[in-house]
Amino acid sequence: MNLRKMSLPEGWYPAESGEIVRFLRDKAAPRNAPAAIAPHAGWFFSGAIAAAAVSSLGKAETIAVIGGHLSRGASPLFAREDAVETPLGKIMIDGELRELVEGEVAKCSGTAEDLDADNTVEALLPMVRYFHPEARILWLRLPAEEFSFEAGKILARAALRAGRTVAVLGSTDLTHYGRNYGFSPRGSGESALSWVRNVNDRAFIDAVERGDPREILDRAERDRSACSAGAVLGALGYVAEITAEETSAGKRPSGTGAPAGRARLAAYGTSADAFPGRSVPGSFVGYGAFVFGG
């Protein structure tokens, strides 16, 4: 078996299975969402927020975890191993679904094997294993461009062809603010933190909840309010396609919206919140969990 090993340095998530169980056991959400979007920072900063998204996904044979950190023009990346390693045990990769999706994506865009050590997928996998222990995964990363919305649709059609029950987990952090990131248009301190929470991140959150792919990309690029907008578009495209499939099959009247509604913000915070009572750090990051449901 070709096993993809864990590659993130210690500290991104607990190295021991018991620590993971203790962290996650009281963080489950209702499980009925066809898709969700989670942050991907170290668990100390964003783990509880990410868990709100990962645990919300409905029962699925395969969970497509869509990462990012790819700019416009980059090729979509797929993990081509048979399984991935986590502290809770290995997760099988759905090779049949991967071949279907990658084959269709390759007709429109170049694809490549994901050989990087990248947190946008890996940081979420122990949560996937914990909350959905029977599920396989599809590991892919999508660039911040319009095609990623279509890639989400391709995934939905491939799942239908394969007869597979699929849920989608997109992955992005929000505004990276401060000297560490070369972005501090509102200075520092409480006023800067308030601006990130209530203006910059809020505008991106509103765009995701409205479900407009172009606005999501524009906000992410212009406002620097998301690091992996392509992953958001992938989840959005998947939900748009399953909506169309349900409507076409007569399972849902036309004009009634997404199968489980548009995305809604389920949890929000920043890395500054990890240090209550302290002054605002010079650099911090915003995090949001979005759930497609109700």
Q: Residue ranges per domain, the chain?
A: 3-292
Mention the CATH class of domain 3-292.
Answer: alpha beta
DSSP-derived pairing of the beta strands 3-4 and 83-84: parallel
Run of H or E including 151: helix 147-162
Per-residue confidence in pLDDT tens, the chain, 294 aa: 899 999 999 899 999 999 999 999 999 888 899 999 999 999 999 999 999 999 999 999 999 999 999 999 999 999 999 999 999 999 999 999 999 999 999 999 899 999 999 999 999 999 999 999 999 999 999 999 999 999 999 999 999 999 999 999 999 999 999 999 999 999 999 999 999 999 999 999 999 999 999 999 999 999 999 999 999 999 999 999 998 877 666 555 443 344 445 899 999 999 999 999 899 999 999 999 999 975
Angle between helices 213-223 and 229-248 (to 10 degrees): 170
What pLDDT, on the 0 to 100 scale, is given for residue 257? 40
Question: In the Cβ-directed half-sphere of 242, how many Cα atoms lie within 13 Å?
Answer: 25
List CB contacts of 17: < 8 A, sequence separation 6 or more. 87, 88
> How far is the C-alpha of 117 from the C-alpha of 127, rounded, in Å?
18
- End-to-end, the C-alpha distance of the chain in Å comes to 40
Residue 272 has φ and ψ, to the nearest 5°, of -65, -25
**The model's pTM:** 0.94
CB distance 229 to 172 below 8 Å: yes
DSSP-derived pairing of the beta strands 91-92 and 83-84: antiparallel
What pLDDT, on the 0 to 100 scale, is given for residue 255? 39
For residue 164 the two structure tokens come to 């597979």
- Other Cβ atoms closer than 10 A to 221: 14
List CB contacts of 27: < 8 A, sequence separation 6 or more. 48, 51, 52, 55
- Of the candidates 120, 132, 119, the one whose C-alpha atom is nearest the C-alpha of residue 24 is 132
For the chain, the helix, strand and coil percentages under 3-state DSSP, each to the nearest 5: 40, 20, 40
